[in-house]
Structure 1
Amino acid sequence: MSSTSYQHPLPEVLIAGAGLGGLLMAILLDKIGIPYRILERASQVKALGAVMSLGPHIMPVFEQLGILDDLLKISIKCTSMNLLDESLKPMGSIKMDGQKDMTGYESVLFIRPELTQILLSKVPTSKILLNKQVVTIEDHPEEERVTVHCADGSSYQAALLIGADGTYSSVRQSLYKTLDEKGLLPKEDTKELEVGFACIVGTTGPMDPEKFPVLKDDYGHFDSIIGGVRHNWGACNINNNRFTWGMNLQFTTEAEAKKERFANAEWGPEASTAEMLKEFLDRPCPFSGAKMRDIVEATPPELISKVYHEHKLYETWYHGRTVLIGDACHKLLPASGMGATNAFQDVVVLANCLFDLEDASSKSITAAFQSYYSQRYEKARTAYNASLLMSKIMAGQTWSDRLIRTIFLNYLPHWVQQAELQKTAGYRPQIMFLPLAPTRGTVAPDPQPKCGRYVPPPLVAPS
């Protein structure tokens, strides 16, 4: 399908945020033929952070867009996550070895900035307006438009606004303020994010494979160590002879978490990073008898970031001509590796709904938003709950976390884990206005609503 095959009724869309979700949204709007602009609050599109994971639940979309090979080039496959105690004695593993048989795809590990560059290369730079911090939004239903006011005094209008501006979304805050004043905001949405962990992450430069033989392997050793009273740390080999690593401090009381909330920041280097690092430098690295300082000191300072791992599932995802995606409406803890996947799934489902718009009226847009929400909310809630459970297993240090981890690793049969994988393996939403990726694996994709305007042929499976 060509983006010029028909005139789409939506005249223009504003996207707040040039993160992963915002960039993928831009790519799909371009495929549909909907004009758009991205309002990015930073002075440049620069993704910090470290290891990320994507797998079967979104890879068909990358295949549809012709960028799956690009993703695989920056990635290393991952079939398990291994837990160790502080003496490096294995505590157990979480296996993902059945994914390829079920879906035809494996989970892979890579670093966030490199995926950002892949998506960014598909979006014209002229479409991204920098230094555009959203301050307030105004809905004008009678004029069929929404106005966005930015901190620099500029304003922009469009038929629709997509809030892809992350955990501390200015779009969400402005939308919720308006709804709260009208008595339309659910009580749950007035509560703050819950803070679970303080985290420091980084990615090394190239290291010596002779000193660290795991770098020679073509799969990722994702090893996480539980130690101390509230400490958790680990590392993983990735492509180009590098390690990506992370160190977590768990907040064990609500008072402690509230205190940290005032110090919250986005991804980025902070003065407090050095102080927290001191608690981890002399702890064992899971590879080659090294200490964590050996890989921290091999990490460029600009690639070390500190963040607070928070979580919340919001009830309100849209109102009027504004809709939220990704972390702006569901912030998952990272242990499950499903945060980016769920943001991308939001984008895919929302794009399908926008593709089928009959006109740009408030009635049609509300119907599209309702369809998006109905398809995504329960899936996001399932992923959110899974992220809470995985955080307890992979990093939790309270007595209840330890109990859950012991039961999961020692008493839960492997076939139960596989059954859980199979239960969710079918949810692999695709872009319904592009040729569909071939069906692979033993678990068929879940049915999706068809786009009324276009029935795409399947992609031809590679020989």
Structure 2
Amino acid sequence: MTESPKVLIVGAGMGGLTLGLLLERIGVDFEIFERASCVKPLGAAMSIGPNILPMFEQIGMLDEIMKMSLPGKAMELYSEDVGGLTLIGRTDNAAFVKEKSGYSSIMFSRPDLHKLLLSKISPNRIHFNKRVLSVGQSDKGVLLRCADGSIYEGDILIGADGAYSAVRQSMYERLQKENLLPKCDTVSLSAGYACMVGTTVPQDPEKYPILKDDYSHLFVVVAEGKPHSWTVITIPGNRFCFGVVIQLGDKEKDETFRNSEWGPELIDSMIAQVADHKVPFGTLGDLIQATPRELISKVYLEEKLFETWNHDRIALIGDACHKMLPSAGQGAINAMQDAVILANCIYELRSPSHKQIVAALKDYKSQRYDHAKKQVQISSTVGKVFYGQTWYEKLMRKAVFTWMPMSFEERNFFKLAGYRPQVAFLPFVENKTNLKILPQKKSKRKYGLAVDPRITAASMSLDFRDSVIDTNPENVRIVFGYIVKESQIQQSWRLVAWN
């Protein structure tokens, strides 16, 4: 029987909780350490779609998520000047998304999903008020030291503690002393925007009739002559989520204090600046007044793709290794995708030996890095379209909503929806449409297959993924997880099952 490692997870955000609930499903011992003293219902709207919903369907959580969500329908982009709001463009691709992928893009309150994920994990697995001071590792294991004097030991340490990751900082300090840290990883995160977010208490549908609709409304407004843009989204419970973004100048980027938490600090000046800004059904001030002060928070939006995701027994997930702008709505999704692939790599471990753990964490990065890199780049570009105030960014915005052909948007959607990692230890959810799904690395442990050692390395390098024609069980064999016709492999090949 496979011996499981002990996994220490720092950070109880979307990525850390997703990893925890997946590890609990496969019987891997783990603990989560969160520096906050309790769960704070901060943040605003969140959207997820066909690149992560199949995983939630696979683990039996899709129905619960759908109950707390509304399907997205359309996005309307406006400009605001002294004359009021002017509609720049509108996208309505909800039917296309559902038809081509089998799933809707859904909107909900970010704290609602966080609460749901938290409810799926045994309470004794999560420790609050645990601020990390340092981490250590050796051939024998990892060591976690917290500010309250507590010390924890394990086999694997995962930094899921956000853009200002203490795990990353400690790991990088060690690598820098050993001259192993790439120069690019010594550069600070780039902060181009400040953002204020909030979620109202339930509102009267008679006052705001759009709350009666069975789908979510998404409005984006860009101010003319001011460095502001704002987003308003309707979510279940007759509530509005709003987010206001200010583009920072070079001086502000240098002088501003970068707050890494979604906390209710430093927001008075921002509220005063934006309260009179218009939305299609009133002003931002109306929504701000309908939001408890403790549920309004401010954060600086930063972006950076780190090159170093792992070293020995330590690995990073989510914002700790790829901080994205929220413009494309992919930050939390990519953190959860990290968790899926990392859980798969841990599941594949035959033993918690140092050698196998190092290999598993390297494998995790190799499977995820290119996908995360693309999303960092896309989020940056979309940020310029939605938030940008330079002449070039204004021109880009006009081009996207005036001249960009629908086929371009559809191609980007196919690329996004086609990558949908699922957990390796459960049956994959069937593809509901003809959408081309990117292949996922097969689980050797689940399929329990090995190939006769007489097969040459050259033979094993052949890729038969497109060779399936005859599905008669008597004529088909599985080789390294690929299906091939009997006529296409040497008769001397045979399969040996692992015990």
The correspondence for 2:235, drawn from 227, 235, 238, is 238
Is 2:261 the partner of 1:266?
A: yes
Q: Which residue of 2 is the match for residue 461 of structure 1? A: none
Is 2:198 the partner of 1:206?
A: no
Is 2:108 the partner of 1:149?
A: no
Matches of 1:292 and 1:13, distance apart in 2: 44
Q: Which residue of 1 is the match for residue 466 of structure 2? A: none
* SS at structure 2 position matched to 1:37: strand
Is 2:158 the partner of 1:162?
A: yes
The correspondence for 1:405, drawn from 363, 372, 397, is 397
Q: Which residue of 2 is the match for residue 330 of structure 1? A: 322
* SS at structure 1 position matched to 2:378: helix
Deviates more, 1:339-348 or 1:409-418: 409-418
* SS at structure 2 position matched to 1:446: coil
Shift of the alpha carbon at 1:94? 4.3
Shift of the alpha carbon at 1:152? 1.1
The correspondence for 1:119, drawn from 117, 127, 132, is 117
* SS at structure 1 position matched to 2:267: helix
* SS at structure 1 position matched to 2:157: strand
Q: Which residue of 1 is the match for residue 374 of structure 2? A: 382
Q: 1:94 to 1:251 in 2, by over 3 A?
A: farther
* SS at structure 1 position matched to 2:226: coil
Q: Which residue of 1 is the match for residue 309 of structure 2? A: 317
Matches of 1:64 and 1:84, distance apart in 2: 38
> Aligned AA for 2:270?
M
Is 2:52 the partner of 1:58?
A: yes
**Contact residue 258 and residue 299 of structure 2 kept, 8 A:** no
> Aligned AA for 2:233?
C
Residues 135-146 of structure 1 aligned to structure 2 (within 5 Å): 135-141=133-139, 143=140, 145-146=141-142
Matches of 1:449 and 1:204, distance apart in 2: 43
Matches of 1:280 and 1:218, distance apart in 2: 29
**Contact residue 265 and residue 308 of structure 1 kept, 8 A:** yes
Q: Residues 68-118 of structure 1, C-alpha deviation per residue, up to 9 Å, x if partnerless?
A: 111111111113322101122111134543221221001111111100111
Is 2:76 the partner of 1:82?
A: yes
> Aligned AA for 1:266?
E
TM-score, reference length from structure 2: 0.87
Q: Which residue of 2 is the match for residue 283 of structure 1? A: 277
Q: Which residue of 2 is the match for residue 219 of structure 1? A: 215
The correspondence for 2:98, drawn from 100, 113, 118, is 100
Identify which of structures 1 and 2 has the higher relative contact order when contacts are C-alpha pairs closer than 8 Å and 6+ apart. 1
Q: Which residue of 1 is the match for residue 30 of structure 2? A: 36
* SS at structure 2 position matched to 1:359: coil
Q: Which residue of 2 is the match for residue 428 of structure 1? A: 420
Q: Residues 30-71 of structure 1, C-alpha deviation per residue, up to 9 Å, x if partnerless?
A: 111111111111111334101111110000111011111111
Shift of the alpha carbon at 1:252? 2.9
TM-score, reference length from structure 1: 0.93
> Aligned AA for 1:216?
K
**Contact residue 338 and residue 383 of structure 1 kept, 8 A:** yes
Q: 1:94 to 1:175 in 2, by over 3 A?
A: farther
Deviates more, 1:74-83 or 1:277-286: 74-83
**Contact residue 5 and residue 351 of structure 2 kept, 8 A:** no
Shift of the alpha carbon at 1:264? 2.2
The correspondence for 2:430, drawn from 398, 420, 438, is 438
Q: Residues 187-236 of structure 1, C-alpha deviation per residue, up to 9 Å, x if partnerless?
A: 11001011021111111111111111111111111101110321111311
* SS at structure 2 position matched to 1:373: helix
Q: Which residue of 2 is the match for residue 370 of structure 1? A: 362
**Contact residue 231 and residue 250 of structure 1 kept, 8 A:** yes
5+ residue gaps, structure 2, are 449-499
The correspondence for 2:383, drawn from 385, 391, 394, is 391
> Aligned AA for 1:444?
K
Larger Rg: 2
* SS at structure 2 position matched to 1:443: coil
Q: Which residue of 1 is the match for residue 471 of structure 2? A: none
The correspondence for 1:20, drawn from 14, 26, 34, is 14
* SS at structure 2 position matched to 1:268: coil
Matches of 2:56 and 2:352, distance apart in 1: 29
Deviates more, 1:290-299 or 1:335-344: 290-299
* SS at structure 1 position matched to 2:430: coil
Q: Which residue of 1 is the match for residue 108 of structure 2? A: 110
Shift of the alpha carbon at 1:186? 0.5
Matches of 2:93 and 2:145, distance apart in 1: 46
RMSD: 1.4
The correspondence for 2:244, drawn from 236, 242, 247, is 247
Shift of the alpha carbon at 1:275? 1.2
Matches of 2:378 and 2:353, distance apart in 1: 37
Q: 1:151 to 1:332 in 2, by over 3 A?
A: same
**Contact residue 388 and residue 394 of structure 2 kept, 8 A:** yes
Matches of 1:251 and 1:16, distance apart in 2: 31
> Aligned AA for 2:75?
M
**Contact residue 195 and residue 258 of structure 1 kept, 8 A:** no
> Aligned AA for 1:104?
G
Matches of 2:402 and 2:339, distance apart in 1: 38
Shift of the alpha carbon at 1:440? 1.2
* SS at structure 1 position matched to 2:273: coil
**Contact residue 8 and residue 34 of structure 1 kept, 8 A:** no
Q: Which residue of 2 is the match for residue 45 of structure 1? A: 39
5+ residue gaps, structure 1, are 1-6, 457-463
Q: Which residue of 1 is the match for residue 344 of structure 2? A: 352
Q: 1:172 to 1:94 in 2, by over 3 A?
A: farther
**Contact residue 393 and residue 405 of structure 1 kept, 8 A:** yes
**Contact residue 41 and residue 130 of structure 1 kept, 8 A:** yes
**Contact residue 235 and residue 286 of structure 1 kept, 8 A:** no
